[in-house]
Amino acid sequence: MAKKNTSEAPEPIDPTTAPAEGYTVLARRYRPLTFVDLVGQEPVTRALGNALKSNRVAHAYLFTGARGVGKTSTARILAKALNCVNGPTPNPCGVCEICKGIASGEDVDVLEIDGASNRKIDEIRDIRNNVQYRPARSRYKIYIIDEVHMLTREAFNALLKTLEEPPAHVKFIFATTEVDKVPITILSRCQRFDFAGISLPRIVERLKSIVESEGLKADVEALELIARRAGGSMRDAQSLLDQLLAFGGDRLTSDQVHHLLGTAGDERILGLAEAILTNDAKQALDLLDEASVGGLQLGELVDQMIAYWRDLMVAHCAGTEGRDLSVPSRHHDTLRKQAKSISLDAILAGLDVLSATKGRMRGSNHGRTLVEMAVVRLGRLADLASVAQLAQWIGQVRLDPRAALPTPTAPRLAGPATEGVKKKPLTTATEPTQETGQPVSRELTPANWPALWPEIVSILGALLGSELAKAGAPAITGPNSLVFRFAARYTQAKETVAQSDRLARVEDALRRVTDKPWTVRFELDHSTGPLLLPEEAVAPSKPKVAPKEEAEKVPLVKRSLDLLGATIQRVDEGFAQEPSEER
């Protein structure tokens, strides 16, 4: 929207001394009066200013963009620039009778029409009949139609000819928030300008200026919360600030903003995220219960969690420096630590869970249950496997039975959130195995790798263990140094286990099994396939039987051959197989 023009705007009204009926809201008092005052729309103001300077002003303009970004204000400024006594000029004086009348909406030659309430063909016919008359005192007769997309199809059709070839003294300025609803025949007759959403720092800067002009004080974090809530709309930010200034007294704080909006504080969001990422479901549900009992809106809480998970994604991919994040800078260290403790796939899956929960809450009377379910699910995403990985596994099993997933000998353990989970105790050097009854050596060698592998899988979990198994037995390349070599077809598996968090889990599992630290490296081997573990060996195949011979043994087929004297010409694959009993 705008910065305050101190040379033209009236002195702010003191709300403590002015009568209630005389109070003017901030969004109106600080409306921009010149192109210079517009905030965040520099490309538009530059184009319009150059058109005025070079006398290349079109007969029809279309301003489109989100609410509260300055479309109607720009239309009024353009009208003043065209009709000012010193114009046409990109810098209207603002003090002549014409400029004052346009600013107050009372000028007889600048007609502001609400397209939502004047949308029928009769109103447009009136415009078409009146454009032939010259303006009463100004240079141009200007029609500003707000929310023009609300006009009916018949009204648009009635406007077409006049819009294409209006009299020289007529200008049209349209504004809309839904340009896709405007017919292409109208768009082709206008110069279109798209108004962008205003960035958060620009809104904060403007709000800070308004607070100072009002003689009040506000914390920067409080203004950032307001700006973020406005979603790029300057008018929404000013309206919310007006409400909060009346609520907060002489100084506006972030706690007052959270209290009025029904949102959770930053510490509560960070604590809830910490409980989720460490898989502490009890702590997460306790925090959620405190928030609900404290009167916080669950829908707002889910929105804040979506924003924070977006922060985790940004911090994981690009860091926090110079980024637009939902948490203040004093929490960036905590944000970075949490982002490193979880994989990017799990963060993205968490965003999907939260977004789906937000959508389901709109049509449900069990909002709290949905939020609790989402919180518990978020804590179980550490070992998430993507759909692409699952499809790859299935394809590998179909093509090569030896690549079947190994069966873990213990329940899956979460990645970075394993604290407090009961783990299977490791066997000692003198403890016999269940399979052979012989003691297992803790020394990792190529000979005893198959014996130690089940314990390693029990620590890693089924999903990570199945990915690592595709490399087969590792090569010992030096003191406490292992190399897992993946065949070229297992490139995706190699990239999966090579992620920093999963690599740390592999090294930790090896250390716990062998009581020695290990350095692990993953490589691609384009020459050979993976070495298979003993339990992955291919079972002896049954002697093959000709399909025709099997088909002839089917009672119904045998009876048909006898009665009809027919012969079998072809047997399709899968014929006469028993359907699976598993559902």
Pairing of strands 519-525, 481-487: parallel
**Please, which residues bridge with residue 217 across strands?**
251
Do 138 and 212 sit in the same domain of this protein?
Answer: no
Judge whether residue 220 has pLDDT over 80: yes
Judge whether residue 414 has pLDDT over 50: no
Q: What is the pLDDT of residue 405?
A: 47
Domain range spanning residue 214?
200-260
For 475, the 3-state DSSP assignment is: strand
Task: Name the least confident of 115-129, 401-415, 526-540, 559-573.
Answer: 401-415
**Please, which residues bridge with residue 467 across strands?**
none
Q: What is the pLDDT of residue 186?
A: 92
pLDDT in tens, 269-285: 999 999 998 888 899 99
d(CA 392, CA 466): 12
Rounded mean pLDDT, 457-465? 85
d(CA 440, CA 427): 8
Q: What is the pLDDT of residue 407?
A: 42
**Please, which residues bridge with residue 478 across strands?**
481
Backbone φ and ψ of 139, nearest 5°: -75, -40
Do 167 and 313 sit in the same domain of this protein?
Answer: no
Do 73 and 146 sit in the same domain of this protein?
Answer: yes
On whether residue 64 sits in a domain, the answer given is: yes
For 268, the 3-state DSSP assignment is: helix
d(CA 225, CA 241): 10
**Sign, CA torsion 576/577/582/583:** negative
Dihedral over alpha carbons 64, 70, 76, 77 (to 10 degrees): -110
Spatial CB neighbours of 476, under 8 Å, sequence gap ≥ 6: 444, 445, 446, 482
Rounded mean pLDDT, 329-358? 89
On whether residue 105 sits in a domain, the answer given is: yes
Residue (of 75, 30, 35) closest to 206 by Cα position = 30
Do 97 and 77 sit in the same domain of this protein?
Answer: yes
DSSP annotation of 541: P
73 with 27: CB under 8 angstroms?
A: no
Rounded mean pLDDT, 492-518? 87
**Please, which residues bridge with residue 175 across strands?**
63, 146
Q: What is the pLDDT of residue 9?
A: 44
Judge whether residue 583 has pLDDT over 90: no
Rounded mean pLDDT, 545-573? 73
Q: What is the pLDDT of residue 580?
A: 46
Judge whether residue 435 has pLDDT over 70: no
Number of domains in the chain: 5
Do 513 and 420 sit in the same domain of this protein?
Answer: yes
Q: What is the pLDDT of residue 273?
A: 92
Do 462 and 556 sit in the same domain of this protein?
Answer: no
pLDDT in tens, 185-201: 999 999 999 999 998 88
Q: What is the 3-state secondary structure (H, E, C) of 288-314?
A: HHHHHHCCCCHHHHHHHHHHHHHHHHH
d(CA 436, CA 269): 52
Q: What is the CATH number of the domain that holds 310?
A: 1.20.272.10
Could you give the percent of the chain with pLDDT greater than 70?
79
Rounded mean pLDDT, 533-545? 47
Amino acid at 209: S
Rounded mean pLDDT, 51-56? 92
d(CA 429, CA 448): 12
Do 286 and 409 sit in the same domain of this protein?
Answer: no
On whether residue 17 sits in a domain, the answer given is: no
pLDDT in tens, 286-325: 999 888 888 888 888 999 999 999 999 999 998 888 788 8
On whether residue 21 sits in a domain, the answer given is: no
Do 235 and 352 sit in the same domain of this protein?
Answer: no
On whether residue 385 sits in a domain, the answer given is: no
Residue (of 173, 122, 180, 178) closest to 143 by Cα position = 173
Confidence label for 559 from pLDDT (cuts 50, 70 and 90)? confident
Rounded mean pLDDT, 386-404? 54
pLDDT in tens, 13-49: 454 444 445 788 898 899 999 999 899 899 999 999 9
Do 119 and 140 sit in the same domain of this protein?
Answer: yes
305: buried, middle or exposed (CB in 10 Å: 19+, 13-18, 0-12)? Answer: buried
On whether residue 8 sits in a domain, the answer given is: no
pLDDT in tens, 56-105: 999 999 999 999 999 999 999 999 999 999 878 999 988 999 999 998 88
Confidence label for 526 from pLDDT (cuts 50, 70 and 90)? low
218: buried, middle or exposed (CB in 10 Å: 19+, 13-18, 0-12)? Answer: buried
Rounded mean pLDDT, 320-347? 86
* Two structure tokens written together for 25: 């809201």
d(CA 34, CA 406): 71
On whether residue 91 sits in a domain, the answer given is: yes
Spatial CB neighbours of 330, under 8 Å, sequence gap ≥ 6: none
Would you tell me the crossing angle of helices 266-277 and 332-340 to the nearest 10 degrees? 20
41 with 203: CB under 8 angstroms?
A: no
Mean pLDDT of all residues belonging to the chain: 80
pLDDT in tens, 249-269: 678 888 888 888 888 888 889
Q: What is the pLDDT of residue 65?
A: 92
Do 344 and 281 sit in the same domain of this protein?
Answer: yes
Q: What is the CATH number of the domain that holds 162?
A: 3.40.50.300
Q: What is the pLDDT of residue 383?
A: 59
d(CA 291, CA 86): 60
Q: What is the pLDDT of residue 550?
A: 76
Q: What is the pLDDT of residue 459?
A: 87
Q: What is the pLDDT of residue 21?
A: 58
Q: Is the peptide bond before 88 cis (omega within 30 degrees of 0)?
A: yes
Do 351 and 319 sit in the same domain of this protein?
Answer: yes
Do 279 and 368 sit in the same domain of this protein?
Answer: yes
Q: What is the pLDDT of residue 543?
A: 52
Confidence label for 409 from pLDDT (cuts 50, 70 and 90)? very low
* Two structure tokens written together for 105: 């909406």
**Sign, CA torsion 355/356/359/365:** negative
On whether residue 31 sits in a domain, the answer given is: no
Q: What is the pLDDT of residue 575?
A: 62
pLDDT in tens, 234-253: 999 999 998 888 876 678 88
Rounded mean pLDDT, 393-419? 45
Rounded mean pLDDT, 158-178? 91
d(CA 68, CA 71): 8
Confidence label for 403 from pLDDT (cuts 50, 70 and 90)? very low
Q: What is the CATH number of the domain that holds 254?
A: 1.10.8.60
Judge whether residue 12 has pLDDT over 60: no
Strand ranges of the sheet holding 475-478, from the earlier edge strand across to the other edge: 475-478, 481-487, 519-525
Confidence label for 452 from pLDDT (cuts 50, 70 and 90)? confident
Q: What is the pLDDT of residue 59?
A: 92
The continuous run of DSSP H or E covering 11 comes out as: none
Q: What is the pLDDT of residue 552?
A: 77
DSSP assignment of 437-463 = -SBPP-S--TTTHHHHHHHHHHHH-HH
382 with 415: CB under 8 angstroms?
A: yes
DSSP annotation of 88: S
